[in-house]
Amino acid sequence: MSRSLAVVPHLVRIYIRTRMEYRGAMLLAWFAQALSYAATYTAIALLLLRFGNLGGWAWSEMALLLSFHLLAYSLGASLSFTQFRDIEEKVRMGTFDAVLIKPVSPWIYLVFSGLNIGYAGHIILAVGLMAWAVTQVAVDWSALTALYFLLSLVSAAMVTAAIMTMIGATALVWVRSKHLFSIFFGFWELARYPLNIFPVPLQILMLTVAPLGFLAFVPVAVTLGKPVPLLGDWALFASLAAGPLAVTLGALHWRHCIRNYQGAGG
């Protein structure tokens, strides 16, 4: 394990160097992605300008929800999305076998040899919007509130990385799993709105099988002191436990898939 971790800085350095070779394209991508999210948020802001609130959430509260959603997703996805989206291609071409014979953990190798710095644009936008939103919402910030906010952010990022790992790992058994990302992003889009506006079956799904309710809504609602459907007073504890629980399930699924990997390439 220590040998696997020792190689992480080298893997990250090499990957960043390769990305920096195409600096112009990288900066353009950061800008384009941030612009796209900003345009969507502007559309939501215009909707709230006309209707006043969405399920009892005003624009400043929505801004906190949107920024938390984007930041938690970016932190988790930078460790997982492209790496596990492309795993099916590695399985299909047989190049995943080369990952397995490296003297480091396959998960650590995959994650850090492709640590996606392309999310910088997302992170800059999210931090900027969050910095504005925290000054606008009616929250009595204390050290404890701030600590909860940070820990729940880490937990939410863990949920993202764990789900992406599970989807990617499925390709080791099914060969194809990219289509499961369509389902993930369907729920991911919902996760940027207050959970209380959705029908109860969808709320249950978002807190259990597709736990993206923990990506932003539950932690932000707890911070703002808003009621959390189905969870009630358990929401604070659940939002902190969701990340470690998802990571545990993700690790078990990853190990199961690695054990059952038979290869599909020639």
Partner 1 sequence: MRAAAYPAFALTAFQSRLVYRNQVWASAFGDLVSIFARIAIWTAAFAGATQVDGITLPEMVTYSVLAWPLLYWDFSRVLYDVGGAVQTGDVAVFLLKPIHYPSYLLSTHFGHFAFECVTIVVPVALIVGFTVGLLPPASLFHGLMFFAYWAVSWLTLFALACLCGLLAFWLLTAFSLEWFLMAIMSLFSGAVVPLWFLPAPLAALFGYLPFAWVSYYPSAVYLGKLDPAATWLHLGIGLVWLGLLSAATLALWAKARTRLVVQGG
Residues making contact with partner 1 (CB under 8 A): 25, 28-29, 31-33, 35-36, 38-40, 42-44, 46-47, 49-51, 54-55, 176, 178-180, 182-183, 185-187, 189-190, 193-194, 197-199, 202
CB of 52 vs partner 1, minimal distance in Å: 9
Q: Which is nearer to partner 1, 46 or 241 (CB)?
A: 46
Nearer to partner 1, 104 or 210 (CB): 210
How near is the Cβ of 60 to partner 1 at its closest, in Å?
Answer: 17
Nearer to partner 1, 88 or 152 (CB): 88
User: What is the closest distance, in whole angstroms, from the C-beta atom of residue 171 to partner 1 in the complex?
Assistant: 12
121: Cα within 13 Å, side-chain hemisphere: 15
Q: In angstroms, what is the minimal distance from the CB of 74 to partner 1?
A: 14
Q: How far is the CB of 53 from partner 1 (least distance, A)?
A: 8
Residue 49 or 144: the one with the smaller Cβ distance to partner 1 is: 49
Nearer to partner 1 by Cβ, of 13 and 176: the residue is: 176
Q: Closest CB to partner 1 among 60 and 105? A: 60
Residue 189: CB minimum distance to partner 1, A = 6
